[in-house]
Amino acid sequence: MGFDASPERKIPMKTTKESIKNLSLMAVLLGAAASAPGSGVVTFTIQGYVNFGATVGPVVTSTFGIATGDSFTGTLAYDSSQPGYSVYGIGGPEITRYQMTGPVVSFTVKGQQFSLFSPFLYVYNVDGSGTSWEIATAVDAHSDPGFTVSSPWGGFSGDAGSPSMGQFSLTNSPGFSLPNSSLPTQLDIADWPGGISLAHDFGAVGGVGNGSFYLYADITSITVAPEPGTLAILGLGFIAVAMVRRRGKD
């Protein structure tokens, strides 16, 4: 007859009830986070490296140490739930326009903030057959609403006819395609290589150039960022569970 050196350990009823209560509370909070109403805005975290050049002057007094090869991190955001508008209609190039209410991209290099705003973001079926796609702030003469850029040296605006530059663009990789012209809720850099181009000449006063800069941000990573509302609900959930457990011990 054998001897059980590890007899069954009984869990106190109070501990069991407390665990069930905690799990139930977390389940409710997780459900609320999943079903919390949102605006449809999808935010992606973007990372990569820059190609940078500048001429200094009274406006561009410093490069802030920014140099080619420096890394950047930032966000790409748009509302994927809104309806699109066909720029050309039936029979024309398949370019679908989506309205933007905030910056398309914002990013930081060497502690310096850059952002690009465009009134619209476009999904362009380049070849018309659904195998070649582009997501961009401008794609042709009828789909270039202009842009506004914020930089460490000041803001500026422009369009296709101006010497300044402000453009964001992603193009699909061969073998990957979109099911339709809707803005995607998921992006993978392996499927969507692209980047951000910013450039501006701040002019001259009395024959002295104020300075200029050029920056291309090559995006090497895109990941979906957690929604702030979801993080807030989950944070409150952990706090609530901790308070319940503490009350049970008192």
Residue 29 host element (H or E)? helix 13-35
Looking at residue 152, what is its pLDDT? 98
Looking at residue 161, what is its pLDDT? 78
pTM to 2 decimal places: 0.76
Q: How many CB atoms lie under 10 A from the CB of residue 190? A: 9
Looking at residue 33, what is its pLDDT? 43
Q: What does each of the 250 residues of the chain score in pLDDT, given as a tens digit?
A: 444 444 554 545 445 555 545 545 554 444 444 434 446 899 999 999 999 999 999 999 999 999 999 999 999 999 999 999 999 988 788 999 999 999 999 999 999 999 999 999 999 999 888 899 999 999 988 888 899 999 999 999 998 778 899 999 999 998 888 999 999 999 999 999 999 999 999 999 998 999 999 999 999 999 988 755 444 444 444 454 455 455 555 5
Residue 47: which residues within 8 A CB-CB, separation 6 or more?
A: 71, 72, 73, 74, 219, 220, 221
With beta carbons less than 8 A apart as the criterion, state whether 148 and 60 touch. no
Looking at residue 239, what is its pLDDT? 52
CA 113/CA 147 separation, integer angstroms: 17
